[in-house]
Amino acid sequence: MKAVRENVYTVGPSKSLVAAVTEPVHVAANNATPVIVILNTGIIHRVGHQRKFVMLARELAARGYSVVRFDFSGIGDSERRKDHLPALEGCLDDIRVILDWLEVSRGQRRAILLGLCSGADHAIIYAGSDPRVVGAGLLDPMIPPTRRFYLHYILHRLARPRSWLSFITGNGRLFTTVRKRVFKLKSGEGHAGSPEDERVRVFLKDVYARAIKNDVQLLSVLTGASDTRQSSYREQILDAFPELDLSPLLRAEFFEDSDHLFLFEHDRKRLHAIIIDWIETANFREVQEGAVDTAALTKLVRGIAMVGGQIAMFGGQVFDGQLI
Amino acid sequence: MTPLYFGTGQRRLFGVLDPAETRSSQAQAAVICYPWGHEYIFAHRALRYLSRQLAARGFSVLRFDYYGSGDSAGDESETRLSGSRKDIVSAIQELKEICDAKAVVLIGLRLGASLAAQIAAECRKDVAALVLWDPAVSGPEHLKLLEIEWTEMAQRHSTYLGNESERRRGARYGLPITDELAMDVSAIDLISIVDKLPPRTLCLCTEALPSHNAWRAALEARPNGPLALENFSDIHPWLEGNLETVGRLPLAAIGRITTWLAP
Q: Do both A11 and A64 map to the same domain?
A: yes
Q: Do both A277 and A221 map to the same domain?
A: yes
Q: Do both A129 and A156 map to the same domain?
A: no
Amino acid in position A166: S
Long-range CB pairs of B75-81 (<8 Å, 24+ gap) are B75/A55, B76/A51, B76/B175, B76/B176, B77/B176, B77/B178, B79/B36, B79/B178, B79/B181, B80/B180, B80/B181, B80/B184, B81/B115, B81/B181, B81/B184, B81/B185, B81/B188
Is residue B194 within 8 Å of residue A264, measured between CB atoms? no
* Distance of alpha carbon A101 from alpha carbon B195, whole angstroms: 53
Is residue B81 within 8 Å of residue B115, measured between CB atoms? yes
Q: Which of B11, B72, B77, B159 best tests the A interface by mutation, with the highest count of A CBs <10 A?
A: B159
Residues of B in contact with A9 (CB under 8 A): 3
Q: Provide the number of structural domains found in chain B.
A: 1
Return the number of CB contacts < 8 Å for A and B. 106
* Distance of alpha carbon A188 from alpha carbon B216, whole angstroms: 60
pLDDT at A319: 41
Lowest mean pLDDT of A1-5, A177-181, A217-221, B144-148, name the range: A177-181
Q: Which of B1, B75, B157 best tests the A interface by mutation, with the highest count of A CBs <10 A?
A: B157
Determine how β-strand A4-11 pairs with β-strand A17-24: antiparallel
Please choose, from the candidates A134, A126, A140, the residue with its C-alpha nearest in 3D space to the C-alpha of residue A52.
Answer: A140
Q: Do both A36 and A49 map to the same domain?
A: yes
* Contact call for B248 and A322, based on CB within 8 A: yes
Please choose, from the candidates A290, A289, A315, A317, the residue with its C-alpha nearest in 3D space to the C-alpha of residue A301.
Answer: A315
* Contact call for B71 and A260, based on CB within 8 A: no
Which tens digits make up the pLDDT trace of B34-92? Answer: 999 899 999 999 999 999 999 999 999 999 999 999 999 999 989 999 999 999 999 99
* Contact call for A259 and B157, based on CB within 8 A: yes
Considering the domain boundaries, does residue A320 fall inside one? no
* Contact call for B154 and A6, based on CB within 8 A: no
* pLDDT mean across residues, chain B: 92
Mean pLDDT of A249-262: 92
A247 Cβ under 8 Å from any chain B Cβ? no
Q: Which of A56, A71, A77, A230 best tests the B interface by mutation, with the highest count of B CBs <10 A?
A: A77
In the predicted model, is pLDDT for residue A43 greater than 80? yes
Which tens digits make up the pLDDT trace of B84-113? Answer: 999 999 999 999 999 999 999 999 999 999
Q: Which of A18, A80, A263, A265 best tests the B interface by mutation, with the highest count of B CBs <10 A?
A: A263
Considering the domain boundaries, does residue A187 fall inside one? yes
Long-range CB pairs of B222-226 (<8 Å, 24+ gap) are B222/B194, B222/B195, B222/B197, B223/B195, B224/B195, B224/B199, B225/B199
pLDDT at A3: 87
Q: Do both A261 and A308 map to the same domain?
A: yes
Report which of residues A234 and B161 the model is more confident about: A234
pLDDT at A324: 37
Element (H, E) at B105: strand B104-109
Mean pLDDT of A25-34: 79
SS (H, E, C) A97-136: HHHHHHHHHHCCCCEEEEEECHHHHHHHHHHCCCCCEEEE
Q: Provide the number of structural domains found in chain A.
A: 2
Which tens digits make up the pLDDT trace of A270-282? Answer: 999 999 999 999 9
Considering the domain boundaries, does residue A211 fall inside one? yes
Report which of residues B76 and A194 the model is more confident about: B76
- Domain containing B243 equals 2-137+188-257
B52 Cβ under 8 Å from any chain A Cβ? yes
CATH number at residue A11: 3.40.50.1820
Report in angstroms the alpha-carbon separations of A91 from A118, A124, A324.
Answer: 11, 12, 15
pLDDT at A297: 92
- SS3 (DSSP) at B6: strand
Report which of residues A27 and B161 the model is more confident about: A27
Considering the domain boundaries, does residue B147 fall inside one? no
The percent of residues above 70 in pLDDT, for chain A, comes to: 82
**Facing A225 at nearest CB: one of B49, B156, B160:** B160
- SS3 (DSSP) at B50: helix
- Domain containing A184 equals 145-193
Considering the domain boundaries, does residue A324 fall inside one? no
Q: Do both A39 and A176 map to the same domain?
A: no
Q: Do both A308 and A264 map to the same domain?
A: yes
Q: Do both A263 and A121 map to the same domain?
A: yes
CB atoms within 10 A of CB A33: 19
Report in angstroms the alpha-carbon separations of B1 from B18, B51, B150.
Answer: 5, 10, 32
Lowest mean pLDDT of A72-81, A187-196, B127-136, B237-246, name the range: A187-196
Considering the domain boundaries, does residue B242 fall inside one? yes
Domain end position, chosen among A155, A177, A193 = A193
In the predicted model, is pLDDT for residue A174 greater than 60? no
Is residue B39 within 8 Å of residue B114, measured between CB atoms? no
* Distance of alpha carbon A188 from alpha carbon A177, whole angstroms: 16
pLDDT at B96: 96
- SS3 (DSSP) at B7: strand
**Facing A226 at nearest CB: one of B48, B69, B157:** B157
Considering the domain boundaries, does residue A155 fall inside one? yes
* Contact call for B45 and A50, based on CB within 8 A: no
Q: Do both A42 and A160 map to the same domain?
A: no
Considering the domain boundaries, does residue A321 fall inside one? no
pTM of the model: 0.92
φ, ψ dihedrals at A182, nearest 5° = -65, -40
Domain end position, chosen among A193, A208, A230 = A193
Which tens digits make up the pLDDT trace of B112-153? Answer: 999 999 999 997 889 999 999 999 999 999 999 988 888 888
Q: Do both A137 and A155 map to the same domain?
A: no
Q: Do both A179 and A137 map to the same domain?
A: no
Considering the domain boundaries, does residue A48 fall inside one? yes
pLDDT at A318: 41
Q: How far is B145 from chain A (nearest CA, A)?
A: 17
Report which of residues A205 and A159 the model is more confident about: A205
Considering the domain boundaries, does residue A160 fall inside one? yes
pLDDT at A52: 95
* Contact call for B160 and A259, based on CB within 8 A: yes
CATH number at residue B126: 3.40.50.1820
Which tens digits make up the pLDDT trace of A125-151? Answer: 999 999 999 999 999 999 999 999 888
* Distance of alpha carbon B226 from alpha carbon B213, whole angstroms: 15
pLDDT at B73: 97
* Distance of alpha carbon A10 from alpha carbon A12, whole angstroms: 7
Please choose, from the candidates B165, B175, B186, the residue with its C-alpha nearest in 3D space to the C-alpha of residue B74.
Answer: B175
Which tens digits make up the pLDDT trace of B191-200? Answer: 999 999 999 9
ipTM score assigned to the predicted complex: 0.93
Residues of B in contact with A259 (CB under 8 A): 154, 157-160
* pLDDT mean across residues, chain A: 86
